[in-house]
Amino acid sequence: MAAATPSLRLLPPEGTDLNQPCVVRDVIDRIGDRWSLLVLGHLAESSLRFNALHRKIGDISKQVLSRTLRRLEEDGFISRTVRESNPPQVEYALTTMGLTFLSPMKAVLDWADAHHDAITQSRELFARRS
C-alpha cells in the first residue's frame, strides 16, 4: 500500500474532542447519500420544479426525493421558491453555497469515472476469492 502524502492531513488534529459531532461525517452523511449528488447535478444545469426533477432522476420515489430536497435545503445547498399560482409552483435551485460545492463534487465524480473499471475488477476478484 502506498504511503499517504505527509502534508495531506485527513484526520482530526491531536487533542480534538472526539465526543463532539464529527464535522466531516456530518456533512458527508448528507451529501454522500444515494441521491443528493444526482439532485445537485441536475440543479447545476438549471433550476427545476419537483416533477421535472423527479422525471430527470427517474428511479427515485417521490417521498425520497422530497426528503432529499428538504435535507439539501436545510443544509443550505439548495433554495426552494414557491410561486403563487393555482396550484402553487415550487422551484428548486442551487444556492451560492451549493454552487461552491460543484467543483469538489466534479472532482469526486471524475475520480469515480476514472477508477470505476478498476473498482469493478477488484470487486469481481474479491467475489471469486470469497
Q: List 27's β-bridge partners, or say none.
A: none
Q: What's the pLDDT score for residue 94?
A: 98
Q: Which of helix, strand or coil describes residue 65? A: helix
pLDDT digits (tens, 9 = 90+) for 73-111: 999 999 999 999 888 899 999 999 999 999 999 999 999
Greater model confidence, 110 or 1: 110
Q: What's the pLDDT score for residue 3?
A: 58
Q: What's the pLDDT score for residue 6?
A: 58
pLDDT digits (tens, 9 = 90+) for 22-40: 777 778 888 889 899 999 9
Here the cell at position 22 is 464529527
Q: What's the pLDDT score for residue 20?
A: 67
Q: List 91's β-bridge partners, or say none.
A: 49, 81
pTM above 0.85, yes or no: no
Q: What's the pLDDT score for residue 27?
A: 83
Q: Is the CB of residue 36 less than 8 Å from the CB of residue 53? A: no
Q: How confident is the model at residue 16 (pLDDT cuts 50, 70, 90)?
A: confident
* SS3 track for the chain: CCCCCCCCCCCCCCCCCCCCCCHHHHHHHHHCCCCHHHHHHHHHHCCEEHHHHHHHHCCCCHHHHHHHHHHHHHCCCEEEEEECCCCCEEEEEECHHHHHHHHHHHHHHHHHHHHHHHHHHHHHHHHHHC
Q: What is the mean pLDDT of residues 35-61?
A: 96
Q: H or E element: which one contains 48?
A: strand 48-49
pLDDT above 90 as % of the chain:
68
